[in-house]
Amino acid sequence: MNNTSKKDFIQGIPKAELHLHIEGTFEPELMFEIAKRNHKKIKYNSVEELKKAYNFDNLQDFLNIYYEGAGVLMKEQDFYDITWAYLEKISSQNVIHTEIFFDPQTHTERGIPFGTVINGINEALKEGQKKWGISFKIIMCFLRHLEESAAMKALEEALDYKNMITAVGLDSSEIGNPPSKFQRVFERARKKGFLTVAHAGEEGPAEYVWEALDVLKVSRVDHGNHSLDDENLVQELIKRKMPLTVCPLSNLKLKVVKNLQKHPLKTMLQKGLLATINSDDPAYFGGYVNENYWAIAEALNLSEAEIATLAKNSFKASFLYEKTKREMIKGVNDYHRQTML
Ligand code: ADE
Ligand code: ZN
> Ligand 2 centre from 19 Cα, in Å?
6
Atom of ligand 1 nearest to the CA of 23: 2
Per DSSP, 318 falls in state S
pLDDT tens digits, 61-85: 999 999 999 999 999 999 999 999 9
Per DSSP, 227 falls in state G
**3-class DSSP state of 98:** strand
> Ligand 2 centre from 338 Cα, in Å?
34
Atom of ligand 1 nearest to the CA of 171: 9
> Ligand 1 centre from 198 Cα, in Å?
10
Do 42 and 51 contact (CB within 8 A), yes or no?
no
| pLDDT band at residue 340 using 50, 70 and 90 as cut-offs | confident
Residue 302 CA to residue 185 CA, distance in Å, equals 40
Residue 32 CA to residue 35 CA, distance in Å, equals 5
What is the average per-residue pLDDT within 210-238?
Answer: 98
Query: What is the phi/psi pair of residue 104, to 5°?
Result: -60, -35
pLDDT tens digits, 271-328: 999 999 999 999 999 999 999 999 999 999 999 999 999 999 999 999 999 999 999 9
Ligand at minimal distance from the CA of 278 is 2
Q: What whole-number percentage of the chain has pLDDT above 90?
A: 98
The CA-atom distances, in angstroms, between 7 and each of 17, 81, 93, 228, 295 are 18, 29, 11, 28, 10
> pLDDT at residue 3 above 80?
no
> pLDDT at residue 221 above 90?
yes
Q: Which pLDDT belongs to residue 341? A: 76
Ligand at minimal distance from the CA of 106 is 1
* Intra-chain end-to-end CA distance of the chain, in Å: 14
> pLDDT at residue 220 above 80?
yes
Q: Which residues surround ligand 2, an ion (CB under 5 A)?
A: 280
Considering only CA atoms, which residue is closest to atom 8 of ligand 1?
172
Burial class of residue 248 in the structure, from the number of CB atoms within 10 Å of its CB (0-12 exposed, 13-18 middle, 19+ buried): buried
Residue 268 CA to residue 177 CA, distance in Å, equals 25
pLDDT tens digits, 227-243: 999 999 999 999 999 99
Neighbours of 36 (CB within 10 A): 12
Residue 126 CA to residue 132 CA, distance in Å, equals 10
User: Among 20, 21, 144, which residue has the most ligand 1 atoms within 8 Å of its CB, making it the best to mutate?
Assistant: 21
Site residues for ligand 1, CB cut-off 6 Å: 21, 24, 59, 66, 171-172, 199, 202, 250, 280-281
Could you give the residue ranges of the DSSP H alpha helices within 166-227? Answer: 183-191, 206-214
Q: Which residue of the set 174, 202, 203, 211 is catalytic?
A: 202
User: Among 58, 280, 284, 292, which residue has the most ligand 1 atoms within 8 Å of its CB, making it the best to mutate?
Assistant: 280
What is the average per-residue pLDDT within 248-266?
Answer: 98
Burial track 220-236 (b if 16+ CB lie within 10 A, e otherwise): bbbbbbbbbebeebbeb
The secondary structure of 25-67 as a DSSP string is G--HHHHHHHHHHTT---SSSSHHHHHHT---SSHHHHHHHHH
Q: Which pLDDT belongs to residue 4? A: 66
> pLDDT at residue 159 above 70?
yes
Edge-first strand order for the sheet with 274-277 is: 15-17, 95-102, 135-143, 167-171, 195-200, 220-223, 243-246, 274-277
Residue 62 CA to residue 213 CA, distance in Å, equals 26
Domains detected in the chain = 3-340 (3.20.20.140)
Strands 195-200 and 167-171: parallel
Residue 210 CA to residue 243 CA, distance in Å, equals 14
Atom of ligand 1 nearest to the CA of 66: 2
Q: Is 157 a catalytic residue?
A: no
Atom of ligand 1 nearest to the CA of 250: 6
pLDDT tens digits, 33-43: 999 999 999 99
pLDDT tens digits, 91-141: 999 999 999 999 999 999 999 999 999 999 999 999 999 999 999 999 999
Mean of the per-residue pLDDT values of the chain: 97
Burial track 75-89 (b if 16+ CB lie within 10 A, e otherwise): ebbbbbbbbbbbbeb
What length does the chain have? 341
Considering only CA atoms, which residue is closest to atom 10 of ligand 1?
172
Angle between helices 322-340 and 304-316 in degrees, nearest 10: 170
